[in-house]
Structure 1
Amino acid sequence: MKKKIILASILFILITVSSQYIFYLDIKRQSYDAKIVNTSGKQRMYSQQISKIALYTNNVNDLYKNYISLDSITNIIDDFTQDNYYLKNINTQNYKNPAIDSLFLKNQVYFKRIIKASNELIDNPNDQGFFENFITKINENEGDFLISMDTLVNEYQKTSERKIKGFKKILTLYSLVTLFFLILILLFIIIPLYKKTKILDSK
C-alpha cells in the first residue's frame, strides 16, 4: 500500500508540474503573438511617419529653405530597422511558416527601398537629387508596404488561431489523461485504503 501511495504522490506531482508547464507555454505563445501584432502595427506607424515627412517636403519642394529634421528621420529609421529585424528573427525561430516567409520577403522589397532612400537623404542632406529621390521612393513604396504589412498581420493572426485550436486539443487530451489517472488512483489506492482503514477500525 505504501508503494501505491508513493506512486500516487508522484503522479499527482507530475500532473501538477506538467499542467503548469502547459499553461506556461500557452502564456509564452500569447506573449509572442501579441508582441508580433504590436510590432507590425508600429512598422505601419513608422512608414506613415516617413511618408508624412515626404509629403511635407514635396509640398514645400525646397530643401534649402525648409530643412528636414534629420534627427527625427534617423530615429524613425533606427526603430523601423530594429523592429524589422525582430520580425525577421521571430519568423525564423518561432513560426517557420512558408506563407509568412513569402509575405515577409515581399514586404522586404518595399521596406528596403524606403530604408535606402531615407538613408541616402540622411547621408546627403544638401543634395537635391537625393531629396527628390527620397520623395519619389516613399510615394512609390509606402502604400504597397502598408498593404503587404496588413496581409502579413492577417497571416500572423491566422497562424495564431491555428495554434490556439491545436493547444485546445492538447489541453482536452491532457484533461482526459488526468481524469483517467485520478480514477485509477481512486479505484486502486484511495478506495482500498479506505476499506482497509474501516476494517482496522472495526476490530
Structure 2
Amino acid sequence: MERLDKRVAGSLTRFYVVALCVVALLTMSGLFLIRRTIRNLNHDSRVVNVAGRQRMLSQRLTKLAVLKINSFEHRDTVSFNSLLALWKDSHEDLVSRKLPLEKGFVTWKSQPLDTMFRELAPVFDHIYQNLRIISSDSAGLAGKQRALAEVLTNEPRFLAQMDRIVFQFDKESFERLENLERIEWILDLMTILVLVAEGLLIFRPVVNTTRRVVRMLTESEDALQLSNQRLKEANIQLVETQKELLRLEEEKYELQLAEDRVRAGALIEGQEEERKRFALELHDGIGQMLTGLKLHAEKLKAMQFHDEKHQKRVEQLVTLIQDIIQTTRQVSFNLMPSVLSDFGLASALKLLCQQTADLSGIKVLFEGETGERILMSRPMEIGLYRIAQEALNNAVKHANADQIKIKLEQNKNRIVLEIADDGKGFLISNLKSEGQFLTRNGMENIRTRTQLLNGEIEIISKVDSGTKLVVRVDL
C-alpha cells in the first residue's frame, strides 16, 4: 500500500504540475500579448483629437486674419499670436511623433503618416509664414492682404491633407483593434483545447486511478478490521499506562509552575527593590542637584544683562531646568511612589489617577476609601499598585477611552480592584487565541502578578462596549 500511495501521488502530482504549467503559460502569454496591444492603443483618441484640432485652429486663424485685416469687430478674445504658437507647436509634436501628456509622451510608428506629414510640410510652412506676416505690426496693409490671399489659397490643401491624416490615424487604430480581436479568438481557442486535453489526459486518468485505489482499500478493509480488534485490546492497556503518565506529568507540571512562581516572585521583588533604590537616588541625588542648579540659575536670571538675547537664554535655561526637575520627579514617582508606603494603596491609586488625567487629558476617576488605610502586606500593596498602573497604561494607550475608572474596595477578607474604561474594547477570544496579544498589551505581566498574590483575574470586554479588569485577592 505504501508503494502504491507513492506511485499514485507521484502520478497525480506530475499531471497537475503539467496542467498548471500549461494554463499558466497560456495565461501569461495572453496577458503579455493583450497588454502589448493595449499599450499600442493608448491615447489614440488624444492623437486623433490633436490632429482634428489642427483643422479647427487653421480655420480659426484664417477667420481671425480676415477680421483683423478688414478691421471687423468680433467677440473672439483669444490672442492671435498665442493661437498661432499653439497651432505650430501641435503640428511639430505630430511631425516628431511625440505628444506631451500629464504622465509623459505618446509616440507611434507609421510610415504612411510620416509620408503624409512630409507632403504637408511645405503647405504648413507657407501658411505659417503668411500668418506671421499678418500678425506682425511692421508689415503694411498691402503685404498683409497678399499674405491673406496666400493663406486662403493654401488652406483647402491643408484641410484636405489633415482630413487624410485623421482618417489614417483612425484606420490604424481600427486595425490594431482588429488585431487584438484576432488574438483574443486565438487565446480562447487554445484555452478550450487545453481544457479538453486536461479532461482526457489528467482528469480521466485520475478517476481511473482513484477507482483502483478505492477497490484495493475495500479489499483490505476486512484485514484492517481484524487488526483493529487486536489494537483495541492493546489500546486498553495503553490507556491505563497513559493515565499514569499523565498523572505524573501533571504533578511535574504543577511543581514546575510552583518553581516558576517562586522565580517570578523573586525577580519581581528584586525589580521592585531596584526601582525603590533608583527612585531614591533620583529624588535624593539627581533631584537635589537639579534643585541646586535651579537656584543658581534663578540667581543668574536676577542679574541684568546688556544683551537681551543673553537674558532670554537664561530664562529658557531656568524653564528647562524646571522641566527636567518635574520629569525626574515623575520618573521617580513611577518607579516607586512614596505615597504608597506613607499613606497606603488607596491614596497612591488616587494620586496615580490624578497624574494620569493631567498627562493624558482623559477623565480618570478613583473610587475608594482613602481616609482609613487597608492593612495588607508590603508585597501585596506593590503588586496591586503595579497591576492598576499597567491596566491604566493599557487603557490610555489602546482603548481610545473618554473615561477610565479605578475602584478599590475591601469585602471582609478580600480586596477587589477594578479598572474599567468606556473605550473600543476587544474580543475575549483574542486573549486565548493570540499569544502575542498578552505580551503586547501587558496582560501577561498582570496575570503573573495576580498569580503571585494567589488572586483571581477576570476580564470583561466587548467590541465598542469598553473593558473591565477585576482582580480579587484574599488578605
TM bucket, shorter chain: 0.7 to 0.9
Q: Are positions 1:9 and 2:20 aligned together?
A: yes
- Offset of residue 42 of structure 1: 0.9
Q: Residues 193 and 46 from structure 1, CA distance in 2 versus in 1: closer, same or farther, beyond 3 angstroms?
A: same
Q: How does 1:51-200 map to 2 (within 5 A)?
A: 51-60=62-71, 72-90=79-97, 94-98=108-112, 100-122=113-135, 124-128=136-140, 131-200=144-213
Q: Are 2:54 and 2:90, in contact at CA under 8 Å, matched by a contact in 1?
A: yes
Task: Looking at secondary structure, tell me which structure has more helix per residue.
Answer: 1
TM-score, normalised relative to structure 1: 0.78
TM-score, normalised relative to structure 2: 0.37
Q: Are 1:54 and 1:139, in contact at CA under 8 Å, matched by a contact in 2?
A: no
Encode CA deviations 1:119-168: one digit per residue, 9 max, x unaligned: 3455x323216533542332122222111111221222233333333333
Q: Are 2:65 and 2:131, in contact at CA under 8 Å, matched by a contact in 1?
A: no
| Distance in 1 between residues matched to 2:34 and 2:95, nearest whole Å | 26
| Distance in 2 between residues matched to 1:115 and 1:47, nearest whole Å | 10
| Distance in 2 between residues matched to 1:13 and 1:133, nearest whole Å | 69
Q: SS of 2:79's equivalent?
A: helix
RMSD: 3.0
Q: Residues 39 and 201 from structure 1, CA distance in 2 versus in 1: closer, same or farther, beyond 3 angstroms?
A: farther
The aligned counterpart of 1:31 is 42
Larger Rg: 2
| Distance in 2 between residues matched to 1:193 and 1:114, nearest whole Å | 76
| Residue identity in the other structure for 1:90 | R
Q: Which moved more, 1:110-119 or 1:126-135?
A: 126-135
Aligned length: 195
Q: Are 1:111 and 1:145, in contact at CA under 8 Å, matched by a contact in 2?
A: yes
Q: SS of 1:60's equivalent?
A: coil
Q: Residues 18 and 75 from structure 1, CA distance in 2 versus in 1: closer, same or farther, beyond 3 angstroms?
A: farther
| Distance in 1 between residues matched to 2:87 and 2:214, nearest whole Å | 76
| Residue identity in the other structure for 2:180 | F
Q: Residues 52 and 185 from structure 1, CA distance in 2 versus in 1: closer, same or farther, beyond 3 angstroms?
A: same
| Residue identity in the other structure for 1:125 | D
The sequence identity of aligned pairs, in percent, is 21
Encode CA deviations 1:13-58: one digit per residue, 9 max, x unaligned: 2222222233323333333432221111111111112111112023
The aligned counterpart of 2:301 is none
Encode CA deviations 1:55-82: one digit per residue, 9 max, x unaligned: 2023228xxxx9x98x822322332223
Q: Residues 198 and 116 from structure 1, CA distance in 2 versus in 1: closer, same or farther, beyond 3 angstroms?
A: farther
Q: Are 2:65 and 2:134, in contact at CA under 8 Å, matched by a contact in 1?
A: no
- Offset of residue 5 of structure 1: 1.7
Q: Which moved more, 1:110-119 or 1:40-49?
A: 110-119
Q: SS of 2:41's equivalent?
A: helix
The aligned counterpart of 2:425 is none
Q: Are 1:121 and 1:131, in contact at CA under 8 Å, matched by a contact in 2?
A: yes
Q: SS of 2:70's equivalent?
A: helix
5+ residue gaps, structure 2, are: 1-10, 99-106, 218-475
Q: Are 1:5 and 1:189, in contact at CA under 8 Å, matched by a contact in 2?
A: yes
| Residue identity in the other structure for 2:90 | D
**Higher-RCO chain (CA-CA 8 Å, sequence separation at least 6):** 1
| Distance in 2 between residues matched to 1:77 and 1:31, nearest whole Å | 28
The aligned counterpart of 1:45 is 56
Q: Are 2:127 and 2:155, in contact at CA under 8 Å, matched by a contact in 1?
A: yes
